Amino acid sequence: MSAKEIRPATGKLGILTPGMGAVATTFIAGVELSRRGLGQPIGSLTQMGHIRLGKRTDNNSPMIKDFVPLTEMDDIVFGGWDIFEDNAYDAAVKAGVLPAAQLEGARDFLEGIHPMKAVFDQKYVKKLSGTHVKKGENWMDLAEQLRQDIRDFKEKNNCERLVMVWCASTEIFLEKGEVHQSIEAMEKAMRENSDQIAPSMCYAYAAIMEGVPFANGAPNLTVDYPAMVDLAKREGVPIVGKDFKTGQTLMKTILAPGFKARMIGLSGWFSTNILGNRDGEVLDDPESFKTKEESKLSVLDSILQPELYPTLYKDLYHKVRINYYPPRGDNKEGWDNIDIFGWMGMPMQIKVDFLCRDSILAAPIVLDLALFMDMAHRAGMSGIQEWLSFYFKSPQAAAGLYPEHDLFIQLMKLKNNLRHLKGEDLITHLGTEYYD
Ligand SMILES: NC(=O)c1ccc[n+]([C@@H]2O[C@H](COP(=O)([O-])OP(=O)(O)OC[C@H]3O[C@@H](n4cnc5c(N)ncnc54)[C@H](O)[C@@H]3O)[C@@H](O)[C@H]2O)c1
């Protein structure tokens, strides 16, 4: 196999986040603390992962970051937008994810990061109202202002390349409609201020038009429709989404493939959560919750394939609840009651109680996505990056294809994509029985 040409990762990479709340500030603080030798980027495949090449006997498993040309952490600069004016340090203290004593180690750095004015409309996030917001004639005008922000940031920070990762609040549920079917219809709707266009779409549009890869960390529609996919392809820009796979859904996509692998049946899966951060408050609104609920519910069906295994999974009752409970802050608790059945239909139960720190699981995903999306762009890839489905609750798939949710298949896909890019043999896991 011949390797694909990947432009080297020279110069600075700017990582722009719409939203500078718990996830974004935990990510930024963590990268800076790692750079200062005050912490480790645990959970990040790009920083800690290895990839096996060739046969097992070759004993060749370099680090991923040594195998493909990724931007070094030292070459990253940060920017973003928020509807609140807090600098990244104040926002991180308010989010309360990393302890104050640890944040102190990067305080000077974080205090220097000030959000730009956001594109925001309360109609799309009912529970929030902020003052640090742009004014414009219509969505297109606002997107043009974002494009100017992007150009200014790039110049001011002497960046060679940029990527954008949506870390802002979950918007209300929007159905795909006519305006989302073609680039022309979408641009017309933006100029006419259609309510089918949401702020997140303005950021995505601005990013793509500026040649900036875009990843969507929330379950919003944002780039998951034909017009945006076509635009990304036309402009030669990678896009990916949606909704970072952390916490309860991560557990689900670890456990469910195991049950299916052993042909264990499932009759019920009840998942409930309490969380008290701003994300929890936003999700307390039924319309934002609906966006999240759709995203969380979708994973089991595609892993279990009830159409192929009706005896085992046809009657599965799957329910997801999220409750806002301020005392817990970012330290979510997620319970799963799983009703399974085995040989002769005998029922059994599994209880999972995950005392999780959501943003601690999300921060490394932001880093990996930014670095991989930048590399994909340098490799000339554009449109939906299915190989990054590993990081998402609702991975975007090409039209007509179903997304892959099984974490282990997703990881294999990701690593095989890297091997393919570098012209290495793909790993099939065939045993020695087949070789001399
Ligand atoms: N933490 C996780 O594990 C996790 C997992 C999956 C998805 N997510 C999603 O990631 C997003 C961020 O989560 P978080 O915990 O950091 O939430 P957060 O509420 O702490 O931060 C979101 C920030 O976005 C800002 N914001 C809202 N609308 C904006 C806009 N239009 N432009 C710019 N800024 C805007 C808010 O003011 C807030 O500061 C949420 O949508 C959440 O659902 C988080």
**Cα-flanking dihedrals φ and ψ of residue 400, to 5°?**
90, -10
Tell me, what amino acid is at 354? F
Residue whose C-alpha is closest to residue 64's, from 41, 90, 83: 41
Ligand 1 close to Cβ of residue 115 (< 6 A): no
Mutate to test the pocket of ligand 1, among 145, 167, 169 (most ligand atoms within 8 A of CB): 169
Q: How far is the CA of 23 from the centre of ligand 1 (A)?
A: 7
Q: What local confidence, expressed as pLDDT, does residue 329 receive?
A: 82
Q: Which helix (H) or strand (E) holds 67?
A: helix 64-67
Q: How far apart are alpha carbons 149 and 281 in whole angstroms?
A: 29
Q: In what order do the strands lie in the sheet with 317-324?
A: 317-324, 265-275, 331-341, 347-357
Q: Which atom of ligand 1 is nearest to the CA of 330?
A: 15
DSSP class of residue 386 equals G
- What's the pLDDT score for residue 428? 78
Q: pLDDT at position 430, please? A: 76
Which atom of ligand 1 has the smallest separation from the CA of 80?
33
Q: Distance from the CA of 313 to the center of ligand 1, in angstroms? A: 34
For the CA of 24, the closest atom of ligand 1 is 16
Residue tagged 């085995």 (tokens): 342
Please report the pLDDT score of residue 435 as a whole number.
63
User: In whole angstroms, what is the distance from residue 81 CA to residue 166 CA?
Assistant: 10
Largest Cα–Cα distance in the chain?
Answer: 71
Q: Is ligand 1 within 6 A of the CB of residue 289? A: no
Instruction: Identify the pLDDT of residue 282.
Output: 82
Q: Is the CB of 241 under 6 A from ligand 1?
A: no
**pTM of the complete model:** 0.95
Q: Does ligand 1 lie within 6 Å of residue 280's CB atom?
A: no
Q: Whose CA is nearest to atom 30 of ligand 1?
A: 120
Would you say the CB of residue 359 lies under 6 angstroms from ligand 1? yes
Burial of residue 135, with CB atoms counted within 10 A of its CB: 0-12 exposed, 13-18 middle, 19 or more buried: exposed
The CB of 19 under 6 Å from ligand 1? The reply is: yes
- 91: which residues sit within 8 A by CB, 6+ positions away? 20, 21, 24, 25, 82, 84, 115
Q: State the Cα–Cα distance between residues 20 and 79, nearest whole angstrom.
A: 9
166 lines ligand 1 (CB under 6 A): no
Protein residue with least CA distance to atom 31, ligand 1: 120
Cβ neighbors of 243 (< 8 A, separation 6 or more) are 216, 217, 218, 219, 292, 295, 392, 393, 394
Give the type of residue at 57.
Answer: T
Please list the pLDDT of the chain residue by residue as tens digits (436 residues). 688 899 999 999 999 999 999 999 999 999 999 999 999 999 999 999 999 999 888 999 999 999 999 999 999 999 999 999 999 999 999 999 999 999 999 999 999 999 999 999 999 998 888 899 999 999 999 999 999 999 999 999 999 999 999 999 999 889 999 999 999 999 999 999 999 999 999 999 999 999 999 999 999 999 999 999 999 999 999 999 999 999 888 999 999 999 999 999 999 999 998 988 877 888 788 877 887 777 777 789 889 999 999 999 999 999 999 899 999 887 889 999 999 999 999 999 999 999 999 899 999 999 999 999 999 999 999 999 999 999 999 999 988 888 889 999 999 999 999 999 999 999 877 777 776 5
Distance from the alpha carbon of residue 66 to the mean position of ligand 1, in angstroms? 32
Which atom of ligand 1 is nearest to 91's Cα? 39
| Tokens describing residue 274 | 């309490």
State how far the Cα of 107 lies from the Cα of 72, in Å rounded to an integer: 22
* Pocket of ligand 1 contains residue 244 by CB under 6 Å: yes
Ligand 1: atom nearest CA of 362 is 3
Q: Report the atom number in ligand 1 closest to the C-alpha of 282.
A: 19
Cβ(256) – ligand 1 distance below 6 Å: no
How far apart CA 236 and CA 120 sit, in angstroms, is 27
Task: List Cβ neighbours of 155 (8 Å cut-off, separation of 6 or more).
Answer: none
Q: Which atom of ligand 1 is the closest one to the Cα of 81?
A: 33
Two structure tokens written together for 344: 């002769």
- 28: Cβ below 6 Å to ligand 1? no
CA 407 to chain centre: 14
Distance 305 CA to ligand 1 centre (A): 32
Kindly give the distance from the C-alpha atom of residue 166 to the centroid of ligand 1, in angstroms, as a whole number.
8
Q: How far is the CA of 18 from the centre of ligand 1 (A)?
A: 8
Distances (CA, A) of 109 to 29, 33, 35, 331: 9, 10, 11, 25
Query: Residues with Cβ < 8 Å from 74, sequence gap 6 or more?
Result: 35
- Residue 190, CA atoms < 13 Å, CB-side half-sphere: 24
pLDDT at 436: 56
Supply the pLDDT for residue 1. Answer: 66
Q: In what order do the strands lie in the sheet with 383-384?
A: 116-117, 76-82, 12-18, 159-166, 214-216, 238-240, 383-384
How far, CA to CA in Å, does 20 sit from each of 117, 168, 171, 296, 361?
11, 7, 15, 23, 16
Residue 125 beta carbon below 6 angstroms from any ligand 1 atom: yes
CA distance 226 to 219: 17
Pairing mode, strands 265-275 and 238-240: unpaired
> Which CA distances in Å does 324 have to 142, 188, 202, 273?
32, 38, 29, 8
Which residue from 16, 17, 20, 23 has its CB within 8 A of the most atoms of ligand 1, so it is best to mutate? 23
Ligand 1 centre and the CA of 420: distance in Å?
A: 34
Ordered DSSP codes for 352-383: EEEEEEHHHHHHHHHHHHHHHHHHHHHTT--E
Structural domains present in the chain? 12-244+360-421 (3.40.50.720), 248-357 (3.30.360.10)
From the CB of residue 59, how many other CB atoms can be counted at a distance below 10 Å?
Answer: 9
Residue 244, sorted as left (phi over 0), alpha (psi -120 to 50) or beta, turns out to be beta
